[in-house]
Amino acid sequence: MVRGRDWEARFADGMHRRINSATVWAADDPDGTVAELEAWYERRGIDPIFKLTDASAPGLDELLAGRGYLPDARVAVMTADLPAGRRSAPAADVTLSDAPSEEWAGSFGDMAGYGPRQRRLLDATLGRIDRRAVYASLRREGSIVSVGMSVAEDRHAGVFEMITHPDHRGRGHAGSILDALLGWMSGPGGATVAYLQVLEGNQPAERLYRGAGFTPRYRYWYRVRSAGLSTTPH
């Protein structure tokens, strides 16, 4: 990641949009700033992606549209206060680990439809996490069918990589994973506020998160020059 006075550019070899996109908060010369960031990404071999919010530089969305960028993936950021004394022990069918096992990463990659390159990038990304973290998994008939993870920093903890095998959805597994993660956050994780990101229109996930006490705080979206990355809500 590199930062300018009013912008930030993230790069992780093309893993997900969130960690391979630029944010511009203000710009005296927006055309020049965008052109500079485009060149920065092109030198790294990926198409430029811009992450926008209502706090982005005025006119940036329209500027990018005029340069041929398409809107993509509107995402809601949701938060929940973690009540004191929330139980920290997971349900009997959920296992928590402080490191991602090969089976956890492999199961997530399979359920997410990752190919070999994406799997290598996933392993590299997980290996760079240097904060308190936990990895949750739920098994049925000996196989992992639902996973999620959390990373905590100071008093905030995020929910990431929530996914359930298509053949096992609608059975409450994601709720069990989420409950275990929230318990860890307010216990060993030491957090008082939880946050997550959900793709707008993913109604089952939105119902799950609202039922767990999460409320929307703000939204962001992307402008992409080509469809080179995953369309999962990252």
Residue 229 clears pLDDT 80, i.e. is over it: no
Residue 211, domain member (yes or no) = no
Same domain? 41 vs 118? no
Residue 91 clears pLDDT 80, i.e. is over it: no
Q: What is the mean pLDDT of the chain?
A: 90
CATH of the domain at 117: 3.40.630.30
1-5, 30-34, 105-109: lowest mean pLDDT where? Answer: 1-5
Residue 16, domain member (yes or no) = yes
Q: Give me the mean pLDDT over the 147-155 stretch.
A: 96
Query: If you write DSSP's letter for every residue of the chain in order, what string do you get?
Result: -EE-SSEEE--STTS-STTS-EEES--SSHHHHHHHHHHHHHHTTS--EEEE-TTSPTTHHHHHHHTTPEEEEEEEEEEEE--TT---SPPTTEEEESS--HHHHHHHHHHHT--HHHHHHHHHHHHT--SEEEEEEEEETTEEEEEEEEEEETTEEEEEEEEE-GGGTTSSHHHHHHHHHHHHHHTTT--SEEEEEEETT-HHHHHHHHHTT-EEEEEEEEEESS--S--S--
Give the pLDDT score at 118: 87
Same domain? 122 vs 184? yes
Same domain? 34 vs 124? no
Same domain? 28 vs 90? no
Task: Sort strands 193-199 and 156-164 into parallel, antiparallel or unpaired.
Answer: parallel
pLDDT above 90 covers a percentage of the chain that reads 74
Give the pLDDT score at 46: 87
Same domain? 27 vs 102? no
Q: Give me the mean pLDDT over the 59-88 stretch.
A: 87
Note down the domain range covering 131. 83-191
pTM of the model: 0.85
Same domain? 67 vs 87? no
Residue 54, domain member (yes or no) = yes
Residue 225 clears pLDDT 90, i.e. is over it: no
Q: Give me the mean pLDDT over the 197-210 stretch.
A: 94
Same domain? 41 vs 92? no
Same domain? 66 vs 99? no
Residue 165, domain member (yes or no) = yes
Residue 153, domain member (yes or no) = yes
Give the pLDDT score at 113: 93
Same domain? 109 vs 186? yes
Q: Give me the mean pLDDT over the 171-185 stretch.
A: 95
Residue 62, domain member (yes or no) = yes
Q: Give me the mean pLDDT over the 92-96 stretch.
A: 90
Same domain? 69 vs 137? no
Residue 43, domain member (yes or no) = yes
